[in-house]
Amino acid sequence: MRKIVIDPVTRIEGHLKVEAIVDDGKVKEAKSSGTMFRGIELILRGRDPRDAAVITQRICGVCPTSHSTASNLCLDSAFGLGGSIPDNGRIIRNLILGAAHVSDHILHFYHLAALDYVDVTKVATYEGNNATLNSVKDFIQRGELGPFVPRYEGDYRLPAAVDQELVVHYVDALRMRRKAQEMCAIFAGKMPHNMTIVPGGVTEIPTIDKIASFLWRLNELRTFIDNVYIADVIAAAGAYSDYFEIGAGCRHLLSYGNYDLDGKEADLTKRNRLFKQGTVSPDFKLGHLDVNAITEEVKHSWYEDSTTGRKPLNGDTVPKDDKAGAYSWIKAPRYNGQVYEVGPLARLVTTYLSGDPKVKALVDPALAKFKAKPDVLFSVLGRHLARALCCKIIADEMPGWLLQLKPGEPVYQPYQIPEEATGMGLVDGARGALGHWIEIKNKKIANYQCVVPGTWNMSPRDDKGQPGPLEQALTGTKIKDADNPFEIVRIIRSFDPCIACAVHVITPKGRTLSEFQVE
């Protein structure tokens, strides 16, 4: 029996610690712990509600756009603007979110995940005229290899030529993700932390030069996604095909969907979205999303036990940093008491099962390529493949949206801040289902709650002792070399953990919000 502790888990967002008890070469038990706490929601209380969208973006600098979108949907609903965002505003919001997701997915595969599969040091043997590879070779020969070494050693399976190609793509992808951030900034003002998505729409107006500038960057990105990103995921999957059978997890999926396709429906659970809302069971049955089925449990988190099992609408969070049996700042969100995974896999499968023909036309051949049944999607490689396909789907959709923009027409609907109101914002961020809830009193924030993707996926055990999705995905995994536990970090990173997001929460002591209602 041996305990493997990985602290910090790097190439993720935020502070995560993972412990695995390995017995007879297999993970017997795993624990995922969020180890950083800031308390963004307490900071929000008493502030002007409009400031929520600026401040909640700072929960996470990797996915600020997702928070900005959720927060503004939440404020829209609190301000009674849900069904009256001008089309230009709705479309520009979609383009900002879409550009950010393209950037995020490329960043994740190449810069956060790929170094678990690609051996940069194999470039030392390169002979040829590729400028990137020659500069990396120089770097290796100089001998100071930070930040690429130290690392786990051993299980790098790609032939040197493929490795070298992937190193070139790693470098290309740095430029491509930057270009996606630039594309985002065209309508978002800047990245990270956009300045243009506001309650009522956006502040940036569409002009023909901005549309063209976005489109030309998008064309380059689509070429990269189609010819490089997806091809590299498939190449990696070929060499590491056992990872279709590693890291399955809880096999329950949940998606809020994203990208509103029309602007008239105020109810966030009924919107027509590009990626669909819903739940998926282990036997691939699609379920209707019921927001009231969501609760957060805290038996194993550093919060007062009296606050457990509440809906986010009337949630309460009282930190207790010395609680016995607790091991994380992350709470355990559950859906009907069950463990659910969120993320690109969830929204892809939800949309597939909703019968979207374009998604079906992408997923079926991808599975056929590996002679695989849909069940293999519940895996490390399944998550990477789903993320790449989500990236392609959104990138392919954006040119059409750009052409729907109408220069000269409004982007923004003015409003009054209500004395008292409640609101809810639901959207799938790059990493999965993201919900914001607000209560306004005296035109100020009385309470603000976020339930974020990292909370779902990296959650600790719940009150019944059920481990979270990541913990389940790790349990039972065979570890070939406990000194270089590749399996563990590959499983962790397949979820694209975002821990600063997961641990942002605190509401004041003793506060009850049982009167909190969402329209």
Partner 1 sequence: MANRKSQEYPVIWLQTATCTGCSVSVLNTVSPNIKTVLVDEVIPSKHVNLVFQATVMAGAGELVIHAMEDTWHKKKGGYVLVVEGAIPTLGKGQYGSIGEDKDGKPIAIASRVEAMGRDALAVIALGTCASFGGIPAAQPNPTKCVSVAQLFKSKNVATPLINLPGCPPHPDWFVSTVASVLIGGLPKASDLDELLRPKAFYGHLIHENCPRRAYYDEQKFAKKLSDPGCLYELGCKGPVTHADCATRMWNHGTNWCVASGGMCIGCASEGFPDWVSPLYQKTADVKLPNIAQKVV
Show contacts with partner 1 in window 45-104 (CB under 8 A): 47-48, 50-51, 54-55, 58-62, 64
DSSP class of residue 426?
Answer: E
**157: contact with partner 1 by CB under 8 A:** no
Tokens 């990269």 belong to which residue? 224
Identity of the residue, 166 or 250, whose beta carbon is nearer to partner 1 in the bound complex: 166
395 forms bridges with which residues in the sheet?
A: none
Contact residue for partner 1 among 259, 302, 437, 495 (CB under 8 A): 302
Could you tell me the smallest distance in angstroms from the CB atom of residue 135 to partner 1? 6
- Per-position DSSP letters for 337-360, written without gaps between them: TB--B-SHHHHHHHHHHTT-HHHH
**Whole-angstrom distance, CA of residue 475 vs CA of residue 282:** 17
Please, what is the minimum distance in Å from the beta carbon of residue 143 to partner 1?
8
Angle between helices 380-404 and 486-494 (to 10 degrees): 30
| Nearest Cα to Cα of residue 294 among 309, 306, 281 | 309
Does residue 367 interact with partner 1 by CB under 8 A? no
> Do 103 and 184 contact (CB within 8 A), yes or no?
yes
Looking at residue 276, the DSSP 8-state letter turns out to be P
Rule CB under 8 A: say whether 147 interacts with partner 1.
Answer: yes
Residue 142 binds partner 1 (CB under 8 A)? yes
Binding span for partner 1 by CB under 8 A among 198-206, 248-256, 343-351, 391-399: 198-206
Alpha helix (H) ranges present in 205-331? 208-224, 230-239
Instruction: List the one residue from 22, 30, 205, 280 that touches partner 1 (CB under 8 A).
Output: 205
Instruction: Between 24 and 144, name the residue whose CB sits nearer to partner 1.
Output: 144
- Any contact of residue 213 with partner 1 (CB under 8 A)? yes
Burial 444-476 (b: 16+ CB within 10 A, else e): ebbbbbbbbbbbbbbbbbbbeebbbbbbbbbbe
Among 23, 138, 290, 481, binds partner 1 (CB under 8 A): 138
Q: Which long-range contacts (CB under 8 A, 24 or more apart) does 318-325 make?
A: 318/507, 318/509, 318/510, 319/37, 319/506, 325/299, 325/300
Q: Which stretch binds partner 1 (CB under 8 A): 190-198, 241-249, 330-338, 453-461?
A: 190-198
Minimum CB distance to partner 1, residue 75 (Å): 11
1 or 368: CB nearest partner 1: 1
Query: Which of 136, 474 has the CB closer to partner 1?
Result: 136
Between 136 and 391, CB nearer to partner 1: 136
Please report, as residue ranges, which positions from 429 to 468 form the binding site for partner 1 (by CB under 8 A). none
Residue 68 CB, nearest approach to partner 1 (Å):
11
146 binds partner 1 (CB under 8 A): yes
Answer for which of 36, 162, 239, 367 binds partner 1 (CB under 8 A) is 36
Distance CA 108, CA 102 (A): 10
Q: CA torsion angle for 307, 313, 314, 316 (degrees, to 10)?
A: 40
Applying CB under 8 A, which part among 38-46, 303-311, 390-398, 434-442 lies near partner 1? 38-46
C-alpha pair distances (Å), 459 with each of 69, 339, 469, 502? 23, 9, 7, 9
Which lies closer to partner 1 via its Cβ, residue 104 or residue 439?
104
Q: Which is nearer to partner 1, 350 or 449 (CB)?
A: 449
CB nearer partner 1, residue 215 or residue 293: 215
Task: State yes or no: residue 175 binds partner 1 (CB under 8 A).
Answer: yes
Does 128 participate in binding partner 1 (rule CB under 8 A)? no
* Residues 6 or more apart whose Cβ sits within 8 Å of residue 187: 92, 95, 96, 99, 196, 202, 204, 206, 210, 214
Residues between 475 and 514 with contacts to partner 1, criterion CB under 8 A:
489, 500, 506
In whole angstroms, give the CA distance from residue 268 to residue 261.
12
* Radius of gyration for the alpha carbons in the chain, expressed in angstroms and rounded: 22
Least Cβ distance, residue 146 to partner 1 (angstroms): 4
Closer CB to partner 1, residue 302 or residue 335?
302
Structure tokens given for 483: 């000194």
Q: Which is nearer to partner 1, 9 or 342 (CB)?
A: 9
Among the listed ranges 112-120, 279-287, 288-296, 369-377, the one in contact with partner 1 (CB under 8 A) is 112-120
Residues 231-290 that bind partner 1 (CB under 8 A): none
Enumerate residues 309-328 that contact partner 1 by CB under 8 A.
Answer: 321-322
Burial 393-430 (b: 16+ CB within 10 A, else e): bbbebbeebbeebeeeeebbbebeeeeebbbbbbbbbb
Site for partner 1 (CB under 8 A): how many residues? 91
Both tokens of 399, joined, read 């040119």
Asked whether position 409 contacts partner 1 by CB under 8 A, the answer is no
